[in-house]
Amino acid sequence: MANQKVSRIGVLTGGGDCPGLNAVIRVVTKAAIGQLGLEVYGIEDGFLGLIRNRMRPLTRDDVSNILTAGGTILGTSNKANPAKFATGKGPDGKPVFEDVTERVLEHIQDRRLDAIVCIGGDGTMSGATNLIRRGVKCIGVPKTIDNDLMSTDLTFGFTTAVQTATECLDKIHSTASSHHRVMVVELMGRNAGWLTLSAGLAAGADVILIPEIPYDIEKVCDACIQRDRRGKRFTLIAVAEGAAPRGGQQVVDKIVHDSPDPVRLGGVSTVLAEQISERTGLETRATILGHVQRGGTPVAFDRVLATRFGHKAVQLIAEGQWNQLVVWQRGAVDCVPIESVADRQRTLAPDDPMIAMARAVDTSLGD
């Protein structure tokens, strides 16, 4: 495959959905067809489409009028890793995982795909790395509302998720004030605090708890009590799903046994609300924003960023620069090897300017 002329490419969206995916599909399809004369195939449900051989041709008409739509017209999956795919259950009822990469390679050959544009986060880039090592040409495009992909300062979908979460926090802020309550709002982000810190700062949250800074429950409670004593009869707390107490563990919502990444975080807001209520006597409520953060139409910035990323992906194809991930670094589009970011997460550094900014406006970080 390494010396084969490119005439047909595939495009897939892997992992969790986010606003802006359709913008990338749109520009990749239109530019690849119109500027490079390539055929484009849409791979359904991420790597599952490669495993099940579910793909379809994409035309300009197929991707018209999808720029503003949330989600992905191709579908996605966060369970389908060809290197570790659940093919059934063993005698003990537990999933049996197999490496089905050979099957994927056969389907790629059957469909005569010369290269694949993989749109996703660290898990998707791990899957792409697996294919790259087997001789498949790939181009990566960085997607995640968590903004935790290595080597890129920004991923598309993040800005829209911050806007959505901020609007939710604003609405909860008003009801917290009306009822004089402590409101604990749980945001996504896995092991990274980018989303929670950004939305928390934008909404003026009084306490922001992120995975990178273990919190002290006594410090959190003290922040609530001090506000109450100053006549501020409510407290708004933004907490990341991956936040954990000092010396403690993250709260796990469930284990998805047939997933290669089985741990699903969630529920820390409920735990915190109970602890705050018991220790302070203040009326406390918990709200989990959940998948509302992934949905909806992308904001203008994400539409443009996703389009820039997708356009760069097509340029890399035209130049024969294979196995590269499009990235945003220091205000410009660039690229790095996909293999350099696989299975890694970008988290907030202790000296990040946003953390200093939060402290400067008297926001408690629970430490």
pLDDT digits (tens, 9 = 90+) for 102-130: 999 999 999 999 999 999 999 999 999 99
The pTM assigned to this predicted structure is 0.93
Q: Does 356 reside within a domain?
A: no
SS3 47: helix
Same domain, 219 and 111: no
Same domain, 58 and 190: no
pLDDT attached to residue 257: 82
pLDDT digits (tens, 9 = 90+) for 49-87: 999 999 999 999 999 999 999 999 999 998 899 999 998
Q: Does 365 reside within a domain?
A: no
Tell me, what CATH number does 148's domain have?
A: 3.40.50.450
Number of domains comprising the chain: 2
Tell me, what CATH number does 263's domain have?
A: 3.40.50.460
Provide long-range contacts, Cβ within 8 A and 24+ apart, for 258-261.
Answer: 258/79, 258/86, 258/95, 259/78, 259/79, 259/86, 260/79, 260/81, 260/83, 260/84, 260/85, 260/97, 260/123, 261/78, 261/123
Q: What share of the chain is helix, strand, coil (3-state, %, to 5)?
A: 35, 20, 40
User: Which residue segment(s) compose the domain that 74 sits in?
Assistant: 8-156+298-340
Give CA–CA dist 97/259, Å, rounded: 9
pLDDT attached to residue 169: 97
Same domain, 182 and 307: no
Angle, vertex CA 72, rays to CA 330 and CA 161, nearest 5: 50
Distances (CA, A) of 288 to 134, 176, 241: 41, 15, 9
- State which amino acid sits at residue 166: T
Share of the chain above pLDDT 90, in %: 86
User: Active-site residues: which are they?
Assistant: 146
Same domain, 15 and 64: yes
pLDDT digits (tens, 9 = 90+) for 291-320: 999 999 999 999 999 999 999 999 999 999
Q: Does 359 reside within a domain?
A: no
Phi, psi of 258 (to 5 degrees): -95, 15
Same domain, 93 and 216: no
pLDDT attached to residue 4: 53
Q: Does 306 reside within a domain?
A: yes
Same domain, 35 and 69: yes
Same domain, 137 and 183: no
Query: Which tokens hold the place of 332?
Result: 């410009």
Same domain, 149 and 36: yes
Q: Does 148 reside within a domain?
A: yes
pLDDT attached to residue 2: 40
Give CA–CA dist 222/327, Å, rounded: 41
